[in-house]
Structure formats: structure tokens, C-alpha cells
Amino acid sequence: MSGHVRHLYVHLPFCAHRCGYCDFVTVVGREGQHGRYVDALLAELELEHGLLAERLETVFLGGGTPTFTDGRELRRLLAALPSAAEVTVEANPETVTPALARLLRDAGVTRVSLGAQSFQPDLLRVLERRASPAVVRRAFYHLRDANFDNISLDLLHGIPGQSAAALAADIDEALALAPEHISYYELEAKQGTRFAHAHGAELVRQAEAMEGYFDLVVERLNAAGYRWYETANFCLAEADGRDLRAQHNLAYWLGRDYLGLGIGAVSTLGDQRRRNAPRLRAYLGSLAGREAPPREVEALDARTRAEERLMLGLRLDTGLPLSEARRSVDDDALGRVERLGLATLSADGNGRRTLVLTPRGRRLGGAVTVELLA
């Protein structure tokens, strides 16, 4: 009997080098181990296969740098994974050649998320990125030449030294490429990282100066026809009816179940959350013996699930049904945020009452959720 999970995440941790600001589960180099890692992923898929529905909606290959993975191994992995309506691969610009773009396209990938971060050479250097602005643009064109009609750009604001003019220039560059989707993240410098150490003072100064910078991002992208559909995500509103929101991430924000494969990968399965240990050797060892990798399992009680549903649902411009919001907040709290002009109650397409943050509420983001949960 097949299972119910319709969203699959696959973690490919390998990177050519480690960027200073990065806090993801990554492994530098180890070209000799890419094949064994793909074997392990496929063994894990076999162990978990029963959880997956017959037809998947989304598959997402994230990293790390999935496109740094040895080409033959990447092709073998893509051929063995279940197909889905949306198959996304994260790519670093310097790895995107015409051959790589064709490989992805031929393997059934429908969407590429390209890690541009910035188009300013000095800021790319601060981030310790390997791709120059020209390489970022060239990667985008290679993907277009391979007929990708759903490309997302990842960009960062809050980079140490980033002026308002530099941010505006990045927005211009991104718009000139006309990607279907843009993720605009605020750079997070985790305490204790090499990056936070090197740029600490500048990051504090920056945090104050940057207030209002994100408004510029929202204004400019809205004016160019992009829908601000999630706190950090924008997509073109397509005239031919294609929904260009990131369907895989949308599943997370809507609280759907998903299965994660690979080191550090997270799965949410009903009232259970599992996190694979971020240890390559242990992962390879367990799966070589056809055993589940070491992982933490957390039970999600009803309250935690309701709070997560609220936190994630309020990130979306569609909000969440009032009936679901009420599981974690009371009428007083709802009244308070409404009176403050941070949220409104409206009816969705099916006439259900929906709690939606106002643009001001969405800019405050997590703070409104905290107010609701207090």
C-alpha cells in the first residue's frame, strides 16, 4: 500500500568551499565519496518508500551545492527519484555550464533555484562567493538556453557594507534577468561563526541602517509585477495561469507532511519530526548496511503543531483559516493585532474566514506571531 506523503526533500551536502556566512549542513570536496553518498540516498529512499504517495507533487534537491555533485552521480540520482509535477534543484552559478543545464533539463528538472546573492563584486567578496556578477548572469542565460521557464534567484540583503544604492542596483540587475521567482533573504550571521566574528561591528551598524531597506525590495518587486506571496519570496503572476510560487516550500508553509533524505535532512510526518544526524560517515555506514541513519525523533504535540501552523501560515499573503488560527490564539489576541492594524479577517475563495497579516504586519513578521501567541 502506498503512503500519503507528496513532498520529497533530498539533501546534497557537497560544496567546493565553505562560504563564511553559511550555516547549512555542508561537506567540502570529497569528490571520491559522491557515488557512495548517492548509493546511501537511494538506500534511504528504499527504506522509506512506503511513506510516499503514488504520485508526488514536489521533489527538491537542496544543499550544499547539488550542482557540485559529480555529474554522473547527479544524473543517476535524478533518474532514480520518483517523478513529480515540480522538481527543483538548487544551483551555484559557477557550476552552471550549458552541459549541466542540459543534464538537469533532460533528467526532468522543472525549476532551478540559482544562488546569486548579489551582483556587486565587493559584496560577493565579503560573502566569499566564487561567482562574479558576470558568471551569475551567464549561469542564468545557460538555464534559459536549456529551456528552463521557471528560474528562481536567491538574493541577500543586510550584507556587511551594502548601501541602499547597492541594494537598488541588485534589484535592477535581478529584474533585468526577469526570473519567474525571487527569494530575498535577510543575511543571518549566526553567533560564533567566522563571519559574525569578522563583520560583527559592521553587522550591528548595518542592522540599524537597513531598517526600511526591505520596503524598497517589496516596493520595487511589486511595481515590476511580482507578488509578495511569502515573507521573503516573490513570484511573477503568470497570465497563462501557471502558479509560480515555489510549490515545495509552499507545502512547508501550509503545514503539509514531507520526507527528507540525506545528512541533516528533516522530515515532518504527522505528529513526528525526524532529523537525520549531520554526520557523513555515520550516514554512509548505516545505509551501506541497509539500516536507517542515526536521527533524532521529536514528538509534535497538538499545541506545537498549531503554533507552527500559525507561524508558517502567517508568512503567506493568503494567511490561514481562522478555524486553524484559533487552535493557538484566543479572541483577545486576535482583536489586539487587528486593532493595531497588523492583521485582518477576510473571506477566502471558499467563503472561509481567514486571518491575514496586513503589509505592515508582514514586515514585522515573527513579532506579530509572538504577540498572537503571548
Q: Cβ 117 to ligand SF4, closest distance in Å?
A: 8
**Lookup: cell for 171:** 534589484
Catalogue the long-range contacts made by 53-56 (C-beta closer than 8 Å, 24 or more residues apart): 53/2, 53/3, 53/4, 53/5, 53/6, 54/2, 55/6, 55/84, 56/6, 56/7, 56/8, 56/82, 56/83, 56/84, 56/85
Residue ranges in 123-182 that form contacts with ligand SAM under rule CB under 6 A:
154, 156
Does residue 5 sit in helix, strand or coil? strand
Q: Report the DSSP beta bridge partners of residue 113.
A: 90, 152
Q: Is 22 in the site for ligand SAM (CB under 6 A)?
A: yes
Site string for ligand SAM, 63-82 (x = CB under 6 A): x-x-----------------
CB-nearer residue toward ligand SAM: 96 or 316: 96
**Restricting to residues 37-96, which ones interact with ligand SF4 according to CB under 6 A?**
63-65, 92
Closest contact distance (angstroms) between CB of 277 and ligand SF4 is: 18
- By CB under 6 A, is residue 19 in contact with ligand SF4? yes
92 scored as a contact of ligand SAM (CB under 6 A): yes
Q: Please, which residue, 33 or 304, has the CB nearer to ligand SF4?
A: 33
Nearest-CB residue to ligand SAM?
A: 115
Interacting residue with ligand SAM among 188, 219, 271, 291 (CB under 6 A): 188
Give Dmax (Cα) for the chain. 60
Please identify, among the stretches 16-24, 217-225, 239-247, 318-326, the one whose residues bind ligand SAM according to the rule CB under 6 A: 16-24
The β-bridge relationship of strands 343-347 and 353-357 is antiparallel
User: What residue type is assigned to position 257 of the chain?
Assistant: D
Q: How far is CA 280 from the centre of its chain?
A: 22
The distance of closest approach from Cβ of residue 275 to ligand SAM in the complex, given in angstroms and rounded to an integer, is 16
Binder of residue 268, out of ligand SF4, ligand SAM, none (CB less than 5 to 8 A by kind)? none
Structural contact between residues 276 and 265, judged by C-beta atoms closer than 8 angstroms: yes
Q: How many residues of this chain interact with ligand SAM, rule: CB under 6 A?
A: 16
Residue 100 CB, shortest distance to ligand SAM, in Å, is 14
- Decide which of ligand SF4, ligand SAM, none touches 18; Cβ closer than 5 to 8 Å per partner kind: ligand SF4
Nearest to 117 by CA among 37, 48, 186, 60: 186
**Taking CB under 6 A as the rule, does residue 311 contact ligand SF4?**
no
* Closer of 64 and 278 to ligand SF4 (Cβ): 64
| DSSP codes joined into one string, 231-289 | TTEEEE--TTS---S-HHHHHHHTT--BEEESTT-EEEETTEEEEE-S-HHHHHHHHHT
Q: Which is nearer to ligand SF4, 11 or 76 (CB)?
A: 11
Q: How far apart are the first and last CA of the chain?
A: 43
Interior/surface letters 111-136, b for 16+ CB within 10 angstroms, e for the rest: bbbbbbbbbbeebbebbebebebebb
Site residues (CB under 6 A) for ligand SF4? 15, 18-19, 22, 24, 26, 63-65, 92, 115
Site residues (CB under 6 A) for ligand SAM? 21-24, 62-63, 65, 90, 92, 115, 117, 154, 156, 185, 187-188
